[in-house]
Structure 1
Amino acid sequence: MGEWLTRRLWLVWCVVGGIVAAIYPLLTLTEPVTEAATTLSRGRLVVLAVSSLIAPLLLLGQGLARAEHLDRLAVGVVVGVLFVLVVVRMAGLVGKVQSQADQLSELAMRDDLTGLPNRPCWRS
């Protein structure tokens, strides 16, 4: 009985989620489009890291709960450490690209020889 109920509730959850995901964008089609922020903020990076570390944390939990399966514990630790290193490196690279993009947009608005604003700067 419990498994039957769980499956039905899961099916209802998926159907309702699909309907909401399909209808919500249709409701916002008439709103004016604003330019979205494309920077990688610390909050986005934390959400990415936490959501990606769920699987290694579950693996660690299973490894700690059962002492005879030490390979799960080792794999969980190694995967977690490697992912943290990848996130730190990615944050550095994205920050560098964003600073270079800002520098490039600044250079595009000024004349190299005189340092005065050029035509694109006056148009914007």
Structure 2
Amino acid sequence: MKSHNLNQQWVYGKLSLQEFHINPWVRLRNVRNIPFNAFMDKCIDCGNTEAMYRKGMNNFFKNTNSDAALELIDKASKGGHGAAKYAFALISICLGGEYSQQGEKTIGEMKVTKKQKEIRR
């Protein structure tokens, strides 16, 4: 049973959310009686950086606990999610003060790769 749980955690942690609509809360609300928020939280608990990024961005721009939202975006960034790193840097610049300096530094350190060009589109 422990092996099954570890496999399940691995799946939630690596699951690609690319085919999911950015905000499918309403459409997928009752798939197998599991609310979409619970699904996203499970993915986040298992280390899925795309889920962290999406939920963080969604909550930040909905003004839903901005501090917790920024923590999710930062965690996704530190987990290697390119769009999260870029978004966190831009948000930091907009916040001003010491955050602005760190955001500018991060943007300056980002080597422009083909993938980052795609993110910025």
TM-score normalized by structure 2?
Answer: 0.25
Q: In terms of Rg, which structure is larger?
A: 1
- Provide TM-score, normalisation by structure 1: 0.24
